[in-house]
Amino acid sequence: MAFGGGLDDETEVMSEINMTPLVDVMLVLLIIFIITVPVLTHSVKVDLPRADNTPNELKPETINLAVNADGQIYWNETQVTLEELELRLAAEAGKQPQPEIHIRGDKAVAYEHVIKTMAAVQRSGLLKLGFVTEPGN
């Protein structure tokens, strides 16, 4: 590598890249990064309080109502009359969150008994009502 001009002829093209300005710029950038990195990571140490931000999800209770072939109503396997059912449903409607009501109707039950049970749930003000069925073959 030849340092220095040495170009006597003005028509000759210089085929070498002058690296000195590039090295100077890189050294300046390196010095700037060395100086600024500790400043960026320096902070005041503060003992921050810990808080749990996960919401407390209360799962609603599930009440299973069953209507057998004779039209008898069962509240979670306990037999109740229609009047008792309405009193219990009214008490459950005031809870937060409201429970979910699952109705199981026997396939031989008269439609009227299931409708009376559904109407009692609706009158009580409960909003979540579902039917439970067995998967068919």
Say yes or no to pLDDT of 34 above 80.
yes
Over residues 49-106, the pLDDT tens digits come to 887 777 777 788 899 999 999 999 999 999 999 999 999 999 999 888 899 999 999 9
Residue 65 DSSP one-character state: E
Residues contacting 16, CB < 8 A, separation 6+ = 1, 2
With 70 as the cut, is the pLDDT of residue 1 above it?
A: no
Peptide bond into 135 cis (omega under 30): no
pLDDT band at 3, cuts 50/70/90?
A: low
Q: Are strands 100-105 and 62-67 parallel, antiparallel or unpaired?
A: parallel
CATH class assigned to 62-131:
alpha beta
> What pTM does this model have?
0.57
Question: 9-47 burial, b for 16+ CB within 10 Å, e for fewer?
Answer: eeeeeeeeeeeeeeeeeeeeeeeeeeeeeeeeeeeeeee
Beta strands in 1-137 (DSSP E): 62-67, 73-75, 78-80, 100-105, 129-131
Residue pair 129/118 in contact (Cβ under 8 Å)? The answer is yes
**Rounded CA separation 77/58 (Å):** 24
Question: Scanning the structure block, which residue is given the tokens 């609706």?
Answer: 122
Domain borders along the chain are: 62-131
Q: Say if residues 61 and 100 touch (Cβ distance below 8 Å).
A: yes
